[in-house]
């Protein structure tokens, strides 16, 4: 007999599902709000939770991670009367068992219950409970981070390729290292390749190595990064920046675990485990012809999506305290305290740069506080304080204003032949890219460091784009 929780504000739905589940010899409990449902889940052991989306106190999807983290770790089935692709994606990526549309038939309900309970029975008999691996620098106990740490444990105990996604500054390399140090390859090399910073004309040599005389300037042989990762882990950071021309070559390397250095006559082997990361949407890049679909299939044997800092607000305090101690230790000064107004400011900010921006903010605050023992809001960067103040005013927001591009030029002049879609697309993208870079330089007053941060580009990549469009500081 299983214990089932139904969270739905429609009495008729609750009555129907209670009767149907009772016929299957299971017990049911109902709740009409998110808060009541979450409270019940925290106090009782449930096998399955049927969760409505539109509830009086919010969207059911918002408590999905919290439900999954309660002590009985129930399977959650989303019920909705108005399903959408975004909602289904959010549900599935956050661990929902299924996403069902109302009205649910008796057959659907019975089949769903049968599969879930069979899964839980086999899971209980064949495998131990999931274990949170050592943190290795991963800070936070929010539901989202706990889910990521559990996924990390699954990735560490197998040898499949892993794709880590998330905004810039969310800690993708930190999780990649944690996968490596918890794997059977932990005593071998962890090799980092920043695809965004490697010059396009040298990236093949950097990855695969070369023989002496392979090209002008190759005065000696060089072992590539792929070979350096032999028996260890190869971490391709920002793999979305890998040139399309090289993606096919790397796909073969990934499949065969062998490659030929530039200028060599024979292939060599490298038994590496691949972990890749990106802040870009690779599915959209595939649709735009900028990323190979077959390579994406190989990359995402396992996927780990890291949440932005604004979606794990409960971790800000522990992150701030941890990095405050580390920064003070680095400078050889006594650990400072964070005043309540400083902590309030950290929670009020939306952190577009995520944890990386938080660390930079604390570095600045410690420098500003000098020998003072307590860090107040006054010590935080001026830009951060201004944005918080602006956002607190009526009708204001921390989100950047939308960019309104100028009217596009005619698709083709009357005297020119009609372009192919690819020709038009390339021309339009080039024009938009140049306009973006011009506005970026204007917004940052020519500061390339700030431009790199805002555009989430490596310095080399930004230089290449500026040169391409004939722009300078």
Q: Looking at residue 284, which CATH number applies to its domain?
A: 3.40.50.300
Distance CA 174, CA 251 (A): 25
**Phi, psi for 185 (deg, rounded to 5):** -95, 10
Q: Does the residue 133 lie in any domain?
A: no
Q: How far apart are CA 351 and CA 370, in angstroms?
A: 24
Range of the domain at 242: 143-305
| CA angle, residues 73, 96, 17, in degrees to nearest 5 | 85
Q: What is the pLDDT of residue 57?
A: 86
- Collapsing DSSP to helix, strand or coil, 170 comes out as coil
Q: Give the Cα separation of 209 and 230 in Å (integer).
A: 13
Do 198 and 288 lie in one domain? The reply is yes
What are the pLDDT digits (tens) for 342-353?
999 999 999 999
Checking if the pLDDT of 129 tops 60, the result is: no
| 153 shares its domain with 295 | yes
Mean pLDDT of 251-266: 91
Q: Which residue has the tokens 């390859």?
A: 185
3-state secondary structure of 177: helix
Domain tally, the chain: 4
Q: Find tokens 């299924």 and name the residue.
A: 98
In 47-194, beta strands by DSSP E = 48-52, 54-55, 58-59, 75-80, 98-101, 162-165, 190-194
The answer, yes or no, to whether the previous bond of 447 is cis (omega within 30 of 0) is no
Q: Is the dihedral of CA 275, 277, 283, 287 positive or negative?
A: negative
Query: What is the C-alpha separation between 290 and 242, in angstroms, rounded?
Result: 10
Tell me the C-alpha distance between 200 and 263, whole Å: 18
pLDDT tens string 398-445: 554 444 444 455 555 555 667 766 667 777 888 888 888 888 888 887
Parallel, antiparallel, or unpaired for β 58-59 and 162-165? unpaired
Based on the domain organization, do 278 and 240 belong to the same domain? yes
Q: Do 445 and 377 share a domain, yes or no?
A: no
Q: How many CA atoms lie within 13 A of 118 on its CB side?
A: 6
Using alpha carbons, list the distances in angstroms from residue 264 to 247, 260, 422.
20, 6, 36
**Using CA atoms, how far apart are residues 209 and 221, in angstroms rounded to an integer?**
8
End residue of a domain, out of 126, 158, 182? 126
396 pLDDT more than 60: no
pTM > 0.85:
no
Does residue 162 share a domain with residue 256? yes
* Mean residue pLDDT across the chain: 86
| More confident position, 42 or 130 | 42
Cα 448 to Cα 82, 439, 451: the distances in Å are 46, 13, 5
Q: Do 169 and 297 reside in the same domain of the chain?
A: yes
- The span from the CA of 44 to the CA of 38, in Å, is 10
How far are the Cα atoms of 189, 376, 415, 419, 421 from residue 424, in angstroms, in the given order?
45, 54, 16, 6, 5
């Amino acid at each position: 007999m299983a214990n089932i929780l139904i969270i739905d504000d429609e009495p008729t739905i609750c009555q129907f599902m209670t009767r149907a589940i009772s016929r299957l010899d299971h017990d049911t409990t109902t709740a009409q709000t998110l808060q009541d449902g979450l409270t019940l889940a925290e106090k009782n052991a449930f096998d399955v939770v049927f969760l409505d989306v539109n509830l009086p106190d919010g969207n059911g999807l918002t408590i999905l991670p919290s439900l999954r983290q309660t002590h009985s770790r129930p399977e959650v089935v989303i019920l909705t009367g108005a399903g959408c692709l975004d909602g289904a994606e959010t549900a599935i990526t956050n661990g929902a068992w299924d996403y069902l549309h109302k009205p649910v038939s008796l057959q659907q309900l019975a089949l769903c219950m049968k599969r879930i309970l069979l899964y839980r029975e086999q899971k209980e008999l064949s495998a131990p409970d999931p274990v949170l691996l050592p943190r290795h620098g991963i800070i936070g106990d929010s539901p989202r981070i706990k889910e990521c740490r559990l996924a990390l444990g699954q990735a560490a105990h197998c040898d499949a390729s892993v794709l880590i996604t998330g905004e810039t500054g969310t800690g993708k390399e930190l999780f990649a290292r944690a996968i490596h140090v918890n794997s059977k390859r932990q005593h071998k090399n962890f090799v980092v390749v920043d695809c965004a910073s490697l010059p396009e004309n040298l990236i093949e040599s950097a990855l695969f190595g070369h023989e002496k005389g392979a090209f002008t300037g190759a005065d000696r042989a060089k072992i590539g990064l792929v070979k350096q990762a032999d028996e260890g882990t190869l971490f391709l950071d920002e793999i979305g920046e890998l040139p399309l021309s090289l993606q096919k070559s790397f796909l073969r390397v990934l499949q065969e675990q062998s490659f030929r250095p530039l200028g060599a006559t024979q292939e060599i082997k490298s038994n590496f485990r691949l972990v890749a990361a990106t802040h870009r949407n690779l599915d959209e890049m595939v649709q735009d012809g900028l990323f190979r679909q077959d390579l994406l299939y190989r990359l995402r044997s396992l996927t780990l999506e890291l949440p932005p800092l604004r979606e794990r607000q409960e971790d800000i305090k522990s992150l701030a305290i941890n990095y405050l101690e580390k920064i003070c230790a680095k400078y050889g000064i006594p650990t400072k305290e964070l005043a309540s107004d400083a902590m309030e400011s950290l929670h009020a900010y939306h952190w577009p740069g995520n944890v990386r921006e938080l660390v930079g903010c604390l570095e600045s605050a410690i420098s500003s506080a000098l020998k003072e023992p307590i860090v107040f809001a006054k010590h935080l960067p001026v830009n951060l304080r201004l944005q918080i103040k602006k956002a607190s005013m009526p009708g204001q927001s921390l989100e950047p204003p939308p960019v309104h591009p100028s009217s596009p030029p005619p698709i083709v002049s009357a005297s020119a032949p009609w372009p192919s879609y690819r020709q038009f697309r390339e021309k339009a993208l080039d024009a938009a890219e140049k306009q973006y870079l011009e506005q970026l330089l204007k917004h940052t007053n020519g500061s390339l460091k700030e431009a790199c941060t805002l555009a989430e580009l490596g310095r080399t990549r930004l230089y290449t784009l500026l040169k391409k469009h004939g722009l300078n500081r």
